[in-house]
């Protein structure tokens, strides 16, 4: 059974995780990786791999990038309120039933007006880095052509304020708020679409690259392509055929490649470029070599592999090419060279992991979660800290790039207590467990350079509206009052001690 492109019942977070579970499996990694795999599995067999919870290895090393993340549509307030254009999310939110609580990002955290106070909070947290995204329609109302000066000015001032606070900006160029004007012209289905993105990228980089050194082209192509264009769960809410979805994916990958070239050509200083993928790595059910190999194969399969492999390895994965043969678009070989740009880090958004084992005939078997497995408020995200061990380990092993966790965090039902504070022990426990696993990955040889908590503050959680609170800062959406949660102070200590309190 291959990934199920036709299954429109997959909830968010599952669509991208579909795995090969039969003989049509991804090609084995090149021999270099094979050798490393043999070493690692020999160590596992000899029982030398550390287990979760061990005190050893909580050392994150010098210069570790401790940060938090947000995105434009989720916090700023609609771009159209300040001379910007309409995004597909503005339109999608108006569709009856699209957003669980009927809300939108029209005001969100009103960050566009309150950014100074928000930077003050960031400084209090002691963040070394802030990952935020630029709203394409705020900068270019029509998606291409004329620039909205007020839009670029906003980011310009934000960057200055961050640097003055000692916080390094990490900028994502596209976190899903696609210009409605371009969508009306055919959007990602159009041949021109990668070029539109590259031009917008150039305008932003021209303005900010004297101060910004860290760039991410896209946020989670896996999610916005599948949920937005196949399942209609996210903007723009389309239900296209699988061949159209694969055409869109290809253009999105080309957009990444062209934007990467544009950043390097335009940047006023040496810079680091990456692309933040939505990943659900697979963990082995045991540390037996066969299970580890099953987990590795599952990690590099399905839609995740479809989007990662061209970017990092320069080709589409064989098994998926075969399984989706009928629907794969025709393209010139040069496209893969454009997509496969050298990148400086591997950016991974990881919230959870699947568990697999090796079955009969070399098949990968998914191990179901036990009843009562710890869950978060967000239905699709279970608590599986091992994802921050096995993910970084497998991705580093295969792509040999420093790993940056660009999102990780949780939604729990917290509120302002009678004492005026927000007590979120579950978030603290969640982050502590995940960060211990990340330290263990580092200890076992994966080069891990940074960690960004999702999120700095509660915000508009897409189709869930305001029902989910992922922030370390509580936001009262009626008054816009910010209240740092207990996790805020705890994370401040993590940063101060460089993970020493984990
Ligand atoms: C990720 C998104 C981010 C946020 C978190 C909870 O998939 O990138 O915007 O919604 O999930």
pLDDT tens digits for range 163-205: 999 999 999 999 999 999 999 999 999 999 999 999 999 999 9
From 72, 175, 349, 378, the mutation candidate for ligand 1 (largest count of ligand atoms within 8 A of CB) is 349
Question: Measured from the CA of 219, which atom of ligand 1 is nearest?
Answer: 8
Q: For residue 312, how far is its CA from the centre of ligand 1 (angstroms)?
A: 22
**Ligand 1 midpoint to CA 469 (Å):** 11
The pLDDT of 322-330, averaged and rounded, is: 98
Task: Say what the pLDDT of residue 59 is.
Answer: 84
| 454 alpha carbon – ligand 1 mean position (Å) | 8
H-helix segments, 67-148: 72-75, 88-93, 111-125, 136-139
Residues in the chain: 502
Q: How are beta strands 448-454 and 168-174 bridged, if at all?
A: unpaired
Catalytic residue (choose from 168, 180, 220, 293): 220
Q: Which two tokens stand for residue 486?
A: 């207990």
Residue 238 a catalytic site member = no
pLDDT at 51 over 80: no
Residue 236: per-residue pLDDT: 98
Give the burial class of 467: count Cβ atoms within 10 A of its Cβ; 0-12 exposed, 13-18 middle, 19 or more buried.
middle
Q: In the predicted model, what is the mean pLDDT of residues 470-491? A: 98
pLDDT higher than threshold 90 for residue 6: no
Q: Which atom of ligand 1 is nearest to the CA of 468?
A: 6
Q: What ligand 1 atom has the least distance to the C-alpha of 223? A: 7
- For a ligand 1 pocket test, name from 454, 461, 467 the mutation site with the most ligand atoms within 8 angstroms of its C-beta: 454
CA gap 188, 196 in Å, rounded? 10
Q: CB–CB of 116/86 below 8 Å?
A: no
In this predicted structure, the answer to whether residue 30 has a pLDDT above a threshold of 70 is no
Number of C-beta neighbours around residue 161 at 10 A: 18
One DSSP character per residue, 212-250 reads: --EEEEEE-HHHHHHHHHTS-SSTT-----HHHHHHHHH
More confident residue, 100 or 1: 100
- Residue 407 known to be catalytic: yes
Choice among 407, 437, 461, 464 that is catalytic: 407
Atom of ligand 1 nearest to the CA of 74: 9
Q: Quick one: pLDDT at residue 26?
A: 35
Pick the residue whose CA is nearest to atom 10 on ligand 1.
Answer: 461
Predicted pLDDT of residue 55:
44
Residue 19: per-residue pLDDT:
35
């Amino acid at each position: 059974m291959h990934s199920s492109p036709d299954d429109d019942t997959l909830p968010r977070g599952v669509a991208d995780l579909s795995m090969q579970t039969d003989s049509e499996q991804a090609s084995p990694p090149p021999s270099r990786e094979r050798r490393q795999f043999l070493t690692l599995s020999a160590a596992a067999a000899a029982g030398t791999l550390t287990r979760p919870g061990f005190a050893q290895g909580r050392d994150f090393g010098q210069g570790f990038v401790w940060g938090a993340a947000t995105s434009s549509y989720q916090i700023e307030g609609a771009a159209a309120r300040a001379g910007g254009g309409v995004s597909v999310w503005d339109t999608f939110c108006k569709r009856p039933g699209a957003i669980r609580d009927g809300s939108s990002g029209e005001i969100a955290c009103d960050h566009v007006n309150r950014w100074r106070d928000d930077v003050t909070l960031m400084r209090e947290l002691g963040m070394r880095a802030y990952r935020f995204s630029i709203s394409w329609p705020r900068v270019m109302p029509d998606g291409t052509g004329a620039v909205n000066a007020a839009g670029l000015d906003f980011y310009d001032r934000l960057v200055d304020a961050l640097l003055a606070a000692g916080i390094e900006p990490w900028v994502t160029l596209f976190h899903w708020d696609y210009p409605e004007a371009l969508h009306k012209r055919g959007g990602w289905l159009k041949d021109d679409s990668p070029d539109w993105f590259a031009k917008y990228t150039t305008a932003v980089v021209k303005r900010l690259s004297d101060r910004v050194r860290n760039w991410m082209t896209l946020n989670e192509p896996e999610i916005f392509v599948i949920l937005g264009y196949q399942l209609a769960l996210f903007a723009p809410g389309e239900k296209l055929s699988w061949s159209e979805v694969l055409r869109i994916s290809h253009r999105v990958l080309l957009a990444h490649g062209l934007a990467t070239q544009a950043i390097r050509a335009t940047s006023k200083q040496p810079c680091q470029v990456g692309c933040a993928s939505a990943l659900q790595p697979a963990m082995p059910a045991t540390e037996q070599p066969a299970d580890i190999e099953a987990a590795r194969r599952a990690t590099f399969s399905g839609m995740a592999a479809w989007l990662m492999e061209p970017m990092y390895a320069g080709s589409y994965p064989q098994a998926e090419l075969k399984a989706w043969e009928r629907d794969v678009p025709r393209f010139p070989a040069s496209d893969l060279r454009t997509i496969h740009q050298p990148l400086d880090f591997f950016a991974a958004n990881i919230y959870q992991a699947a568990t697999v084992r090796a079955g009969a005939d070399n098949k990968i078997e998914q191990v179901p979660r036990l009843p009562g497995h710890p869950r978060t408020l967000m239905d699709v995200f279970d608590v599986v800290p091992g994802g921050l061990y096995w993910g970084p380990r497998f991705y580093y092993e295969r792509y040999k790039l420093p790993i940056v966790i660009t999102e990780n965090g949780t939604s729990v039902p917290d509120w302002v207590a009678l004492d005026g504070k927000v007590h979120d022990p579950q978030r603290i426990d969640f982050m502590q467990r995940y960060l211990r696993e990340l330290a263990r990955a580092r200890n076992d040889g994966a080069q891990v350079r940074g960690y960004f908590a999702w999120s700095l503050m509660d915000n508009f959680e897409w189709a869930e509206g305001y029902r989910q609170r992922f922030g370390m800062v509580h936001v009262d959406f009626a008054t816009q009052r910010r209240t740092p949660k207990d996790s805020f102070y705890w994370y401040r200590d993590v940063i101060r001690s460089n993970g020493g309190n984990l």
